[in-house]
Structure formats: structure tokens, C-alpha cells
């Protein structure tokens, strides 16, 4: 087999044009300005093509008996590369390359990290760090990747990706997860995964990586100023979240079918929540003030959500019609001045992104300090802790331990000041 199929094509500088080039199976491909983000992105696409076609001449192990049509179809070849075929390759004495490991692990993550049939953001975050790993170590053997290589790659994350310190540590852990998975499939030795754990995480103030501001509570004065300009549906979502200390996603997925309204305090069990894959049950209590806000939204069928962008848009149009000063006999008739094929149609439910955008839009338009709905949970949790203690805040927030609640419930500085005023 030609040596070309063992090593991926190199990212090179074409000196006369100062462009990045790569040679793929005898064809020279120009990628754009050398060193630019666009050129690296196109280089990753070339590597994907190379990975699919590299086994065409001599498919590994169980591909030997494939028919001629499958041998010339890169998609079928790529689909046939599985942990089982790579394990057979390892047993034959040929180590697995990092590019091959990435190929099968990415297929695994896109099946594993799913919720309600949708690929989650975790799979996307893993893809981001795997691209960087393949760019710098794709042609190396996975068995030889150790803490020193991981440390060097982490420095490249700082330079090339500008990820924050906290996110860098998470991305490094995601890489460790891939090698741990490879050990479970017997593609590499367990010592590789164990050695990678020896690399300590980045510490605050002792790294070049940038820091991000911690998520803190949002003052009620800013929430109230925003509520004046929010659409009625979104404003009620904010009010309910403030009263219940629910997560943004839990408010968005609220549906009458998931709410037990038989008692004076309603019980909401979200059908989807952050910790459901840990088999933890999430229970949210809804008190009288929140019940008064939520009651008009309970008249829904079992397959509908309480808060709908479609309903919010309908209310906005009805309000605009009521404010109309032009005679109904003049100008456009209501409902006729519409875009025939809008780029975005109102859906039947809010998601965390659309919920956040609605708030940010109002903040931008009315010069209000911008805030996100996840900060409401910090505000509510802090108030509950001040009034009822940390155990109560843990119960309301649904945390498994008080140490997690500490992240959300800020310390009661006023209480500490009062104590020191008397004893300090």
C-alpha cells in the first residue's frame, strides 16, 4: 500500500502566493491565506475526505471481502470503520492512529449525546476539540499520546482558539474521555488514559488563558425594568422563573400535562431536564403567586407547551390591530401585510436560546443592562438561602449537595456585616 495512505496530507505554505495548500491524491488544493482560520477550516474538510478515501485501495480487516462497488464508495468505507474493525487491526499488530480513533469516537458521541432525538451541544463541543487534536496529532499513534503532548496541545488551544481557562479545562477532560473510551474498546492500553489524568488543570492566575466573569444574580430592579417592555408571554416566563428558581430550560419545557394542580401548591415534574440522564427526578414546587400567573396558560392540550412564541406573536399582532388608527376601509387589511416565505417562523415552544434572545433584544432597545435568564436562578436561590437557609435552597434548586447550591446562592454579606458589627 502506498505510504500516502498512512499519513494525512500536510498543511503547507505556497511561498509565491502566501497561501496554504494541501495535496490530496495528486491534486493541489488552495485553502486561503496561510495561517488563517478559514484555511484551517478547509484543511479539516480535506482531512475528512482523506480519512474516507484512505482505505479504498486496501480496506482493513473485514472490508477485504467487500464487493467492488463498496470499495469505491468513500461513504460506505467510512461507515464500515468501526471499533470492531480497528480492534482487529490492533490485534494484527498495527496501532490505531489518532485520526482513526477520532473517526469512530465522533460516531459514538453523535449517538450518545442525544436528547429528544436532537444532538446536544456537548457533541458539538467535543467536535471542536477533536478538530484541533486531529490538526496537530492526527497522523500519530493514539498509543503514544501522553501528558506532554496534551500539555502542548492545551497551549495551542490558548493561542488558536482563545478559549477561557474554565472552558479549556473542560475541553481537556473531553479529550481524556475519548482516550478512556478507547481503553474500554481495547483500542489502546489503559496506561495511556491513566497517564493523561496526571496533567493538572489550569489554575486561576497561573496561566495565559483568559478568565471569564462568574455568573452572578441579577438585581430585581433590572428585572422589573425589563419586564415593562417584554412581550406578555416572555414576561410571565421571567416572573415564574423568579418565583420558582427553575432553570431556563425547565420554564421553556413547561406543559400542563407535567403539572399536578390538585393541591394548593402545584408540583411540576419536567419531562426533560439537565440531570435526567443521571436518572434523577426533578420536582419543582409552584406557589400561589406563580399559580396565579400560570393559570391562564393551563388551557392546553397534552401535546402543547404553556409558553409558545406562536401565541406571543399572535398577541402582538392583535395588540397592533387594536392600536391601529387608520380606518379598516383604508390601508392594508389586517393579516395581508405579511412576508410570503419568512426566514424564521414562530414555533410552538420557546427554547433557552429564543428565551434569552427575547430578553437581550429588549435590553438593547431600551438601554438596560443586558442579562440572561440563567442569572434569575442565582437571584432566586440567593433570596431563598437568606430567608430559609442553604438546605431549603438546595431542596428548591434540586441539587444533590449543598456544595452545588453554594455556586448559585451567593453569601449573605449583610448578615456577615451585622455579626461583625456586634462581635468584631
| pLDDT tens, position by position, 366-420 | 999 999 999 998 888 888 888 888 777 777 777 666 666 666 666 555 656 665 4
Residue with cell 440567593: 382
Q: Which domains are present in the chain?
A: 220-322+347-408 (1.10.443.10)
Q: Yes or no: say if 340 and 262 are a contact pair by the CB < 8 Å rule.
A: no
Higher per-residue pLDDT: 58 or 209: 209
pLDDT of amino acid 420: 46
pLDDT digits (tens, 9 = 90+) for 290-347: 999 999 999 988 788 999 998 888 887 777 777 777 776 676 766 666 666 666 777 8
Residue in the block written with cell 452545588: 404
Please answer whether residues 36 and 46 qualify as being in contact, where contact means their C-beta atoms are separated by less than 8 angstroms: no
- DSSP characters over 288-306: HHHHHHHGGG----TT--S
What local confidence, expressed as pLDDT, does residue 23 receive?
A: 85
Q: Nearest CA to 31 among 44, 49, 15, 48?
A: 44
Name the region of 117 (left: φ>0; alpha: ψ -120 to 50; beta: rest).
Answer: left
Residue that is written with C-alpha cell 383604508 in the block: 330
**pLDDT the model gives residue 73:** 55
- 240 and 259 in contact (C-beta within 8 Å)? no
> What contacts 393, CB < 8 A, 6 or more positions away?
245, 381, 384, 385, 405, 408, 409
Q: What are phi and psi of 215, to 5 degrees?
A: -75, 125
The alpha-helical segments, DSSP class H, found in 245-308 are: 248-252, 288-294
pLDDT of residue 18: 81
Contact 297, 307 (CB under 8 A): yes
Question: Which of 40-49, 141-150, 201-210, 410-419 shows the lowest mean pLDDT across its residues?
Answer: 410-419
Burial of 299 (0-12, 13-18, 19+ CB in 10 A): exposed
Closest Cα to residue 382, out of 353, 359, 414? Answer: 414
**Quick check: 231 and 316 in contact, CB under 8 A?**
yes
What would the grid cell of residue 147 be?
501528558
Pair 241, 267: CB distance under 8 Å: no
Here the cell at position 183 is: 481503553
| Spatial separation of the C-alpha atoms in residues 363 and 45, rounded to whole Å | 39
pLDDT of residue 69: 46
**For position 62, what pLDDT does the model report?**
41
Average pLDDT over residues 141-151: 95
Mean pLDDT over all residues of the chain? Answer: 82
Q: What is the pLDDT of residues 74-124, one digit of tens each?
A: 566 666 778 999 999 899 888 999 999 999 999 999 999 887 777 888 999
Rounded Cα distance between 211 and 106, Å, is 29
Residue 218 dihedral angles phi and psi, to the nearest 5°: -105, 130
DSSP secondary structure letter of residue 20: E
Distance CA 368, CA 361 (A): 10
What is d(CA 307, CA 293) in angstroms, rounded to the nearest whole number?
12
Amino acid at each position: 500500500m502506498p505510504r500516502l495512505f498512512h499519513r494525512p496530507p500536510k498543511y503547507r505554505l505556497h511561498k509565491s502566493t502566501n497561501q496554504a495548500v494541501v495535496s490530496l491524491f495528486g491534486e493541489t488544493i488552495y485553502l486561503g491565506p496561510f495561517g488563517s482560520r478559514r484555511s484551517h477550516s478547509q484543511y479539516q474538510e480535506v482531512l475528512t475526505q482523506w480519512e474516507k478515501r484512505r482505505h479504498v485501495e486496501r480496506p482493513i480487516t473485514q472490508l477485504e471481502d467487500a464487493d467492488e462497488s463498496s470499495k469505491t464508495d468513500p461513504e460506505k468505507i467510512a461507515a464500515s470503520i468501526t471499533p470492531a474493525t480497528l480492534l482487529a487491526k490492533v490485534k494484527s499488530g498495527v496501532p490505531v492512529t489518532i485520526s482513526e480513533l477520532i473517526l469512530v469516537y465522533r460516531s459514538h458521541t453523535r449517538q450518545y449525546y442525544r436528547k429528544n432525538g436532537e444532538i446536544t451541544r456537548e457533541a458539538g463541543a467535543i467536535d471542536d476539540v477533536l478538530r484541533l487534536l486531529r490538526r496537530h496529532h492526527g497522523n500519530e499513534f493514539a498509543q503514544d499520546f501522553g501528558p506532554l503532548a496534551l500539555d502542548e496541545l492545551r497551549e495551542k488551544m490558548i493561542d488558536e482558539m482563545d478559549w477561557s481557562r474554565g472552558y479549556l479545562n473542560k475541553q481537556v477532560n473531553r479529550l481524556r474521555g475519548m482516550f478512556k473510551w478507547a481503553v474500554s474498546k481495547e483500542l489502546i492500553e489503559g496506561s495511556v488514559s491513566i497517564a493523561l489524568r496526571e496533567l493538572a488543570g489550569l489554575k486561576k492566575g497561573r496561566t495565559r488563558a483568559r478568565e471569564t466573569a462568574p455568573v452572578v444574580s441579577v438585581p430585581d430592579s433590572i428585572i422589573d425594568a425589563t419586564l415593562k417592555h417584554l412581550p406578555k408571554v416572555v414576561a410571565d416566563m421571567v416572573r415564574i422563573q423568579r418565583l420558582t428558581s427553575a432553570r431556563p430550560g425547565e420554564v421553556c419545557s413547561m406543559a400542563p400535562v407535567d403539572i399536578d394542580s390538585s393541591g394548593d401548591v402545584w408540583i411540576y415534574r419536567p419531562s426533560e431536564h439537565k440531570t435526567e440522564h443521571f436518572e434523577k427526578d426533578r420536582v419543582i414546587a409552584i406557589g400561589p403567586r406563580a399559580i396565579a400567573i400560570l393559570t391562564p396558560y393551563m388551557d392546553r392540550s397534552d401535546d402543547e407547551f404553556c409558553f409558545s412564541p406562536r401565541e406571543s406573536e399572535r398577541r402582538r399582532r392583535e395588540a397592533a390591530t387594536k392600536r391601529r388608527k387608520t380606518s379598516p376601509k383604508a390601508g392594508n387589511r389586517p393579516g395581508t401585510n405579511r412576508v410570503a416565505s419568512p426566514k424564521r417562523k414562530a414555533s410552538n415552544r420557546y427554547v433557552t436560546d429564543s428565551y434569552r434572545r427575547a430578553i437581550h433584544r429588549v435590553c438593547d432597545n431600551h438601554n438596560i443592562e443586558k442579562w440572561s435568564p440563567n442569572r434569575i436562578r442565582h437571584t432566586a436561590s440567593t433570596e431563598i438561602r437568606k430567608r430559609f437557609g442553604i438546605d431549603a435552597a438546595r431542596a428548591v434548586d434540586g441539587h444533590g449537595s449543598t456544595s452545588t447550591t453554594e455556586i448559585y446562592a451567593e453569601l449573605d454579606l449583610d448578615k456577615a456585616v451585622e455579626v461583625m458589627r456586634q462581635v468584631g
